[in-house]
């Protein structure tokens, strides 16, 4: 390498000198003058001080070339395909008991979006932060929430994206979950109040890895794992009451979240996802508001009108329609999982002929949410 740089420097020096004196040398009759000049240049180059200067230039050039090589290598790593990023992550063991799509509590938002791309939607949830919804036409569906440092503080999926050190995955039996994780919690204490879980065995709550982990079961598929929610302890502590404070943003967040959850469940069962229908959403919102204001819970309102009567009254034409109701759940996630465990509501969620969906949410005076889903085939 050193010899190569010396030759390169010599060529450059000769080219420079030739550019200055070449024309005069070409015109002389004594051709040996150029040979003498070249010999003189070579003698100068072999002088120790000049040789040392060349070595210094060589070292500098080698350093510059090495820096350029490192920059190019870094750019190539930054442009590493998403599949390679995921492969790199998969080569490392899980540091938490559970992960979703190879994402764990504490991972950065930058890592998540390098892995799966930009979120399809972000909407407010009951913890006062947004659920970011990631999917590809509802395939590989999951939601992530981030803290103030843009670190993952919440995760949810109802698809086959669950990994765990104990081998628990979507489809695992409830018995295997309890055998691996032990006795579930009976509730979460907030201040002086303990909020107890009353769910008819539809889910179990565990505390580990500085997180609260809810495992949901599908009663219509032999009580196997159907979904998971992971909430960091710090995020859970931000929620100081059972029901979140009602707001327009939270109402809209619950509506979009329930819509996305329903579509993600449909895709799991091999069904096409539904489109959003703003017209029937207004019908759904009106019914939720009526139930919240008048403190009742029924498909038939206080005027004796059915869901189909209300749709016709709102000038909505349809060939087929259905309605799901839920009330009292703390989030769209718990509402959706409850609906999937109720046979009639489950049939609406998984009806192959429905084409669109409108979701309406309202809160009563105590911030208790009421959920209405109206399904349509026009």
Does the pLDDT at position 83 exceed 70?
A: no
Q: CA 80 to CA 363: how far, in whole Å?
A: 47
Q: List the beta bridge partners of residue 146.
A: 152
pTM comes to 0.76
Using pLDDT thresholds of 50, 70 and 90, give the confidence band for residue 49.
low
* d(C-alpha 75, C-alpha 88), whole Å: 17
Q: Is 71 exposed, middle or buried (0-12, 13-18, 19+ CB in 10 A)?
A: exposed
Please name the residues in contact with 23: beta carbons below 8 A apart, sequence gap of 6 or more: none
Give the model confidence (pLDDT) of 315-358 as tens digits: 999 999 999 999 999 999 999 999 999 999 999 999 999 999 99
Q: Selecting from 3.40.33.10, 3.30.70.1140, 1.10.10.350, 1.10.10.1100, what CATH number does the domain 248-377 have?
A: 3.40.33.10
> Is 248-377 in the same CATH topology as 98-238?
yes
Distance separating alpha carbons of residues 277 and 314, to the nearest angstrom: 13
Instruction: Please check whether the domain covering 98-238 is classified as CATH 3.40.33.10.
Output: yes
DSSP 51-118: HHHHHHHHHHHHHHHHHHHHHHHHHHHHT--HHHHHHHHHTSPPSSSEEETTB-TT-BHHHHHHHH-S
Query: Where along the chain do its domains lie?
Result: 1-76, 98-238, 248-377
* Phi, psi values for residue 82, rounded to 5°: -55, -35
User: According to the model, what pLDDT value does residue 378 have?
Assistant: 94
């Amino acid at each position: 390498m050193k010899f190569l740089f010396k030759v390169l420097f010599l060529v450059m020096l000769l080219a420079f000198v030739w550019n200055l004196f070449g024309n005069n040398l070409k015109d002389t009759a004594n051709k040996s003058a150029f040979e003498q000049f070249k010999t003189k240049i070579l003698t100068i180059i072999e002088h120790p001080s000049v040789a040392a200067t060349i070595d210094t230039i060589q070292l500098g050039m080698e350093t510059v070339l090495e820096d350029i090589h490192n920059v190019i290598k870094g750019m190539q790593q930054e442009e590493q395909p998403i599949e390679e990023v995921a492969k790199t992550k998969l080569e490392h063991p899980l540091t938490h008991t559970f992960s979703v799509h190879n994402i764990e509590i504490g991972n950065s938002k930058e890592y998540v979006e390098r892995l799966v791309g930009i979120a399809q939607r972000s909407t407010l949830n009951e913890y006062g932060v947004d659920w970011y919804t990631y999917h590809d036409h509802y395939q590989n569906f999951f939601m992530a929430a981030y803290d103030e440092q843009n670190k993952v503080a919440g995760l949810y999926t109802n698809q086959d994206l669950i990994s765990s050190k104990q081998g628990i995955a979507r489809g695992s039996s409830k018995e295997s979950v309890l055998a691996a994780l032990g006795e579930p919690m009976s509730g979460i204490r907030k201040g002086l109040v303990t909020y107890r879980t009353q769910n008819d065995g539809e889910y179990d709550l565990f505390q580990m890895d500085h997180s609260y982990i809810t495992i949901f079961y599908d009663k219509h598929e032999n009580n196997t794992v159907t979904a998971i929610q992971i909430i960091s302890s710090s995020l859970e502590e931000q929620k100081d009451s059972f029901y979140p404070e009602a707001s327009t943003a939270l109402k809209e967040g619950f509506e979009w979240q329930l819509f996305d959850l329903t579509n993600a469940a449909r895709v799991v069962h091999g069904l096409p996802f539904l489109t959003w229908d703003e017209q029937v959403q207004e019908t759904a919102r009106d019914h939720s508001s009526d139930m919240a204001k008048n403190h009742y819970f029924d498909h038939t309102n206080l005027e004796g009108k059915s869901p189909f009567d209300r749709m016709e009254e709102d000038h909505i034409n349809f060939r087929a329609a259905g309605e799901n109701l839920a009330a009292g759940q703390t989030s769209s996630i718990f509402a959706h999982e409850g609906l999937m465990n109720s046979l009639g509501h489950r049939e609406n969620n998984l009806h192959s002929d429905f084409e669109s969906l409108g979701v309406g949410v309202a809160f009563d005076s105590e911030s208790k949410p009421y959920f209405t889903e109206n399904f349509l085939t026009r």
